[in-house]
Amino acid sequence: MCIIWGKIEGGNGIHVRCHDQCFTSEVLGSLKCDCKQQLDFAMKHIRDRKSGMVIYLPQEGRGMGLAHKIKAYSVQERGYDTVDANLVLGFPDDSRTYGCVPGILQEMNIKSIRLMTNNPRKIAHLEALGVKVLGRVPVVTASNQHSSRYLLTKHHRQGHMDLGIDAGNMPQNLDILS
């Protein structure tokens, strides 16, 4: 599904977010991640610019699905971080794919994008698929006491950039991240 604001067809440097659904935060209000805040940021960003697109992808739990994501939460309760919880369940740390994105952009005759993301792997993946990424728009959101460990894990273990980690919300036991 695509959420489009303004005239983007045939454009260059269109601001695009490839957003992966997160039922737990976007519907149930979970504070364990920053997914809802990232979606809200992207929606406000394209609205304020009066131009842009959010490609909403059904890839819950970094591609492993809602049921496995809930199991991963259980594994995390035993002290594993989000990456290791996926590995314990037999999944890679990130199973998402973006193969549909080039076709969506081609259908809209979009020549190049500025990607709203903090994830360097997403940029590399899209570029490998032939998407011309002119630049990155950082998606900085506030952390909370429930999400800061998750955000630090994404930064330290997956290379995510520009995370809105508030020092007051940092977990006490950071040795698990080194």
Q: Are 87 and 68 in contact (CB under 8 A)?
A: no
Q: Is 121 an active-site residue? A: no
Beta strands 113-116 and 133-137, pairing class: parallel
Q: Is 94 a catalytic residue?
A: yes
Ramachandran region, residue 166 (left: φ > 0; alpha: ψ -120 to 50; beta: rest): beta
* Active-site pick, 20, 62, 94, 136: 94
Residue 18 near residue 117, CB atoms below 8 Å: yes
φ/ψ of residue 172, rounded to 5:
-70, -35
Options 17, 20, 62, 96, the catalytic residue:
96
Active site (catalytic) residues: 94, 96
